[in-house]
Chains A and B, each alone.
Chain A
């Protein structure tokens, strides 16, 4: 048995599935803004914002 997933057949748990919405281009940044923002597409522009450290590993950016 695969111990990593702890997949229990009797409980019929469903494994995770990835879902990615299909992008449709609308407005775009100017070349100058695009290079600064790291993307041409406003819908993909998500700048990192440092959240206060919660005291355990890693931080949530979103």
Chain B
């Protein structure tokens, strides 16, 4: 797994966490427009990152569209990634 792939994956995890936070906040503050636009901005960013990642490295979830052959099973497995080196 090269540096760039790891960097992308980390960024996906970061944005994904922000979306957890904004969505939980919005559950109790549905009329907060700033929070909503923050959420939507990061949601857009998230979709872009996912398609960027999947185009280069294969599926990140089983629900995506795969080229031939099926690339969801591409290495490395999540537990084989060393995130210490950034």
User: Which residues of A come within 8 Å of B, CB atoms?
Assistant: 23-25, 28, 31-32, 34-35, 39-41
Interface string of B17-60 (1 = CB under 8 A from A): 11001100100110010110010001000000000000000000
Q: Which of A25, A32, A35, A39 contacts B35 (CB 8 A)?
A: A25
Which residues from chain B sit less than 8 Å from chain A, CB to CB? 11, 13-15, 17-18, 21-22, 25, 28-29, 32, 34-35, 38, 42
Asked if A34 and B17 make an inter-chain contact with CB atoms under 8 angstroms apart, the answer reads: yes
Given contacts A25-B25, A31-B11, 19 further A-B contacts (CB under 8 A): A23-B25, A24-B32, A25-B29, A25-B32, A28-B38, A31-B15, A31-B17, A31-B18, A31-B42, A32-B14, A34-B17, A34-B18, A34-B21, A35-B17, A35-B18, A40-B21, A40-B22, A41-B21, A41-B25
> How many residue pairs, one in A and one in B, have C-beta atoms under 8 Å apart?
34
Interface of A is mostly: loop
Do B25 and A35 have beta carbons less than 8 Å apart? no
Interface centre among B11, B17, B42 (most CB of A within 10 A): B17
Secondary structure call for the B interface: helix
Q: Which of B11, B18, B29, B32 contacts A40 (CB 8 A)?
A: B18
Q: B29 to chain A: which residues have CB within 8 Å? A: 23-25
CA gap between A25 and B22 in the complex, in Å? 10
Tell me which of B18, B29, B35 has the highest count of chain A C-beta atoms within 10 A of its own C-beta. Answer: B18
